[in-house]
Chain A
Amino acid sequence: MKFKTFFLQRVLAWALTIWIGVTFIFFIPRMFPSDPVENMIAQMQTRSGNMDPAEMEALRQQLRVQFGLEGSLLKQYGSFLWNGLLHFDFGPSLMSYPEPVGDIIGRYLPYTLILSLTSTFLAWVIGNFIGLLAGFRKNKKSSQILESIAIFIYPIPYFLVALVLQIIFAFVLKWFPLQAVIKTGVGFGPWFGSLMKASVLPAVSLLLLGTGWWIISMKSLASTTAEEDYVRYARFRGLSEGTIGKSYVLRNSILTQITALAMSLGGVFGGSIMTEIIFGYPGVGSLIQSAILQSDYNMILGCITISIVAISTATLIVDLIYPFIDPRIRYG
């Protein structure tokens, strides 16, 4: 297979994932019996008492245009794809009207990316390293203990680990503030310091969970690989355990883990949304939460669309790295 064919296939799959995902979030709300515009108007009425009928009608029209609910379904779909997907234009945010949704997300997204990408990468490296040792030296007491810890932590939902860490370190020990505060407009030093302080607990909880899975999966991969004939042969040849571990067991099992990393990114992102919300870390997760609380439909749609694009792209990148690491694959 030529590299070009492989590349085109992956890019096609990437475009398809985004398209199906976005089509999904476009059509599902329109199949629901509840109308977001009617919901908003009902909410405004309960807030501000009786409204003038003519005024209400004008408001309804304005909201319908704003939500992109005017025109035929096909036309709406077309303009959604064109504006939203290709230009990241989701209209104005309702909670901080009239700032465009795209600009606000652009401010929050880097924080989420820094947090989730760093912790995912670290978790992958640390987890695979521990897992390799645990699988390669199965009968050592230390590797059994490490695996038991991983099995105890991994299945717990993200938000729960975050919540428990918050209760212990912010409520009881008071080492960290309850809600993350990031200072902006005070120069690089204070900003960076506050960012670090705000990131510690979220990063630790993401790391704990992420590492757990890589330990468990790498351990089982490594212990199967360690029983292969070529490993036994290498041992007969008198190679050192370190060399066997590095160039036979690690190289053969890490490939599976790269594919697994690509497939896990969606879940990791979901986890980082939950973690952000618990700690009040100012990323896309917190943005989604306040958008839900204030019924900012444009904002929700924008955040979700950008999440789908971001995760699919990250998955694509990891997928494309694969052939460069696997020496068995040669593209002409």
Chain B
Amino acid sequence: MKKFWKTANFRLKAGLIITCIFMFVGFIVYFFPHTDPFTFNTYPNNLGASGEHWLGTTSMGQDVVWLLIEAIHNSLLIGLIVATIGTVVGVLVGLLAGFAGGTLDRVLMVITDTFVVIPSLPILIMMTSLMKGGATVIVMALVLAMFAWAWPSRQIRSMALTIKERDFIHTARFSGESTMQIVVTEILPFALSWSLSNFMNATLSAIGSESSLAVLGLSPGNLVSLGNMIQWARNYNAVLAGRWLWIGAPIVATVILFVGLFMLITGYNDYQAMKRGR
């Protein structure tokens, strides 16, 4: 651990710290006892920042701090669900295509390539507009996950193709290991480091897509997410009224979360490249 901290680059360290803070807020602070922040008129409207309400209250009498904490929780949750589904499906499809070869490979790759270039936002708009904002968190995550598997599967397939030809795989095959065994014990470790950075990337883009849809009013109306929080503040004219804490809090939080995650990803990739170079 100490050695890691010494060798890690600045971006990896900064990204890791920021991400850990958000995880702490979203998954630990979130469970501290508090009143439901979504309920209207819990507190007086439009309070400024004070000891009791650190970031004031909204014009519907909601506490901004707790609203923000719940938003971070839900946004992270959606991101993690989507990234998990996308990574698992992507790795499986990629390995299958890479190892099966032949017609199956060709068919899978045509579908994958289509999903890589297809414009996802218009299709997401189409699907969520039909649900009329009535979707649940899980449905939303599933819809977003439809576009999260293609890129990893393409990358994992090409990885599988190069690894397949290496000597130690032949050795393993001749010593009587089954294809499944080879995949699990020899190939997966190779794919894991790449998958980890892809996982973080998928989390980032899922949170981004959800908040884009929220700005269009297409995210579930009762879901407290970062995007919805920004959208509510816009709808109730927080900017015109100069209520900067209300609209500023989710914007600043989103920017810090995104930059932090991105630094973590690029820092991690550089770190891996450096480790391989030694």
Contacts and interface: CB of A to CB of B under 8 A. Distances in A.
B111 interface: yes
A154 B262 contact: yes
Interface stretch (B22-30, B91-99, B122-130): B122-130
B204 to A, nearest CB: 6
Contact of A16 (B110, B125, B215): B110
A263 B117 contact: yes
B131 A34 contact: yes
Nearest to A162: B215
Given A32-B131, A158-B212, A159-B215, A300 B126 contact: yes
B121 A269 contact: yes
Contacts of A58: none
Q: Report, as a range, how many residues of chain B touch the other chain.
A: 35 or more
Contact of B118 (A29, A156, A266): A266
Interface in B239-255: 239-240, 247, 251, 254-255
B113 A13 contact: yes
B230 interface: yes
A311 B119 contact: yes
A157 B131 contact: no
Contacts of B204: 155
A198 B194 CA distance: 42
B126 A25 contact: yes
Q: Report, as a range, how many residues of chain A touch the other chain.
A: 35 or more
Interface string B30-48: 0000000000000000000
Contact of A269 (B113, B119, B212, B239): B119
A36 interface: yes
Contacts of A300: 125-126, 129
A87 to B, nearest CB: 20
Nearest to A154: B262
Choose among B11, B116, B212 the residue with the greatest number of A CB atoms under 10 Å from its CB. Answer: B212
Contacts of B129: 292, 300
Choose among B119, B126, B129, B130 the residue with the greatest number of A CB atoms under 10 Å from its CB. Answer: B119
A157 B126 contact: no
A162 B117 CA distance: 24
A180 interface: no
B92 to A, nearest CB: 20
B132 A39 contact: yes
B266 interface: yes
Interface in A211-257: 216
A72 B188 CA distance: 46
B130 A270 contact: no
A167 interface: yes
Contacts of A97: none
A304 B126 contact: yes
A164 B251 contact: yes
B127 A28 contact: yes
A308 B119 contact: yes
B67 interface: no
A251 B113 CA distance: 26
A288 interface: yes
Nearest to A288: B125
A317 to B, nearest CB: 13
Contacts of B216: 277, 288-289, 292
Contacts of A171: 239-240
A263 B263 CA distance: 23
Nearest to A36: B130
B259 interface: yes
A273 B212 CA distance: 10
A273 B121 contact: yes
A20 interface: yes
Contacts of B266: 151, 216
Contacts of A216: 266
Contact of B122 (A28, A29, A273): A273
A206 interface: no
A20 B118 contact: yes
A292 B125 contact: yes
A202 B33 CA distance: 43
Nearest to A303: B122
Choose among A152, A265, A292 the residue with the greatest number of B CB atoms under 10 Å from its CB. Answer: A292
Contacts of A273: 121-122, 125
A269 B122 CA distance: 9
Interface in A1-44: 13, 16-17, 20-21, 24-25, 28-29, 32, 34, 36, 39
Contacts of A289: 216
Contacts of A29: 126-127, 130
B246 to A, nearest CB: 13
Given A28-B127, A156-B254, A267-B120, 18 more contacts: A17-B118, A21-B123, A29-B130, A39-B132, A156-B255, A158-B212, A164-B251, A171-B240, A263-B116, A266-B118, A270-B119, A273-B122, A274-B215, A300-B129, A304-B123, A307-B122, A308-B122, A312-B118
Interface of A: 13, 16-17, 20-21, 24-25, 28-29, 32, 34, 36, 39, 151-152, 154-160, 163-164, 167, 171, 216, 262-263, 265-267, 269-270, 273-274, 277-278, 288-289, 292-293, 300-301, 303-304, 307-308, 311-312, 315
6 contacts: A16-B114, A156-B254, A267-B120, A274-B215, A292-B218, A300-B126
Closest 9 CB pairs of A and B: A270-B121, A155-B262, A266-B119, A155-B258, A157-B208, A304-B122, A307-B122, A20-B114, A292-B129
